[in-house]
């Protein structure tokens, strides 16, 4: 796991160090996105398949779980995809019913 990358390149996403598992918790709450916008950012823009936190606890809508039992190169690629998506911001065009371009409320 590339912790330096997280600390330097993705300060908006808090990583919780795993304790005896190959899953890490990612806290996206600093991005101030709606649940739908966060899922769109991760799935459609970053093109990652992370497990939503609300599968484990209904109040954890701003958390996602990432499996890191993969080669380091794959994990690094996923982190770069996530950074690229976070840097670009949410593409609000995914929500055809949105009355605003304020991506934090998509």
pTM (two decimals):
0.78
- Whether 91 and 21 have beta carbons less than 8 Å apart is answered as no
- Match 């371009």 to its residue by tokens: 101
- Match 């966060």 to its residue by tokens: 38
- State which H helix or E strand residue 76 sits in: helix 72-88
DSSP letters for 31-75: G---HHHHHHIIIIIS---PEEGGGT-TT-TTEEEEE--S-HHHH
Domains of the chain: residue spans and CATH: 3-89 (3.90.1150.10)
Higher local confidence (pLDDT), 84 or 8: 84
pLDDT in tens, 41-58: 999 999 999 999 989 889
SS3 24: strand
pLDDT in tens, 70-99: 998 998 899 999 999 999 887 666 555 544
């Amino acid at each position: 796991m590339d912790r330096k990358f997280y600390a330097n390149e993705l300060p908006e996403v808090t990583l919780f160090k795993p304790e005896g598992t190959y899953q890490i918790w990612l806290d996206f709450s600093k991005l101030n996105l709606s649940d739908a916008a966060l899922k769109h950012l991760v799935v459609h823009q970053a093109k990652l398949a992370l497990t939503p936190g609300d599968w484990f606890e209904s109040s954890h809508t701003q958390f996602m779980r990432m499996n890191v039992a993969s080669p380091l190169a794959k994990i690094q690629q996923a982190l770069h995809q996530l950074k690229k998506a976070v840097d670009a911001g949410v593409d609000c065009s995914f929500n055809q019913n949105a009355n605003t371009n304020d991506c934090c409320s998509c």
